[in-house]
Amino acid sequence: MILITTPAISDSGIWSGIFDINGHGAYDFIGLISDNQATAYTKKANVVYSGTINKEKKILEWNLLMYLKNGSYFGKANIKGKIINNNIMSGSWVTSPAKDYGNIYLVKLDEKEILNVGEIINKTWATINSKTNHTLKIKDNKILGKDENNCNYYGSINGISKKIYNVKIEIASCGISDGIYKGMAHISSKNNINKLTITATNKNFSLFLNLN
């Protein structure tokens, strides 16, 4: 007898959807998963997340630290959801110490919506719709940048999967924000405009950049 096996479909990738907070919302949510690592953000709620992923059978669990967007750490979030048809997650979440709660629904983005990693990253990027203007020049996957407050940005950005970049950025000459930030990034394309989103954190603060 010949046994035919098919490889398990990975949860790694970019998940997009909505959630509510204590019954109010909806709020946007974008989560990036690479192996057991995760970063995420919500623009409407102004929160950045960083943490790990665990999966047992069809249940996907996110254990995340929470930061104000471009701000400080303020708590933890636990998300648990059932995976349906390998590309939908439906579940709930709760935070501590605030004990906020809600439901969450995510869909794994189609590959066409996110650009492949590659040489496309190597260019000069500028922030859009940001309170502080940033310019990052990326050459040979090395980052050199500055913002309007004369904070300096140094680092690297390299592909870790087909759609996701690993990011390491050091902020210098910026007061309490100085330090090394680690996270993930992706490039999306809409109306022939490429947009780079970087989400990174350290022990105390987060960095969220939306650039084109």
CA distances from 134 to 109, 113, 127, 152, 190 (A): 28, 25, 5, 10, 21
CATH topology for 13-109 is Lipocalin (2.40.128)
Q: What is the pLDDT of residue 6?
A: 33
pLDDT score at 9: 46
Q: SS in 3 state form for 37-60? A: EEEEEECCCCEEEEEEEEEECCEE
First-residue to last-residue Cα distance in the chain: 55
Q: What is the pLDDT of residue 67?
A: 98
- Asked if residues 119 and 158 have their Cβ atoms less than 8 Å apart, the reply is no
| pLDDT recorded at residue 10 | 66
pLDDT score for 121: 98
Q: Which residues, including other chains, have CB under 8 Å from residue 124's CB and lie 6 or more apart?
A: 135, 136, 137, 138
Say whether 176 sits in a helix, a strand or coil.
helix
In angstroms, rounded to a whole number, what is the distance separating the alpha carbons of residues 47 and 39?
11
| Average pLDDT for runs of 10 along the chain of length 212 | 40 95 95 96 97 94 97 98 95 97 95 89 94 96 97 97 96 97 95 94 97 96
Please give the pLDDT value at position 178: 97
Q: Phi/psi at 169 (nearest 5 deg)? A: -130, 135
What is the domain partition of the chain in residue ranges? 13-109, 113-211
pLDDT in the model for residue 89: 97
What pTM did the predictor assign? 0.92
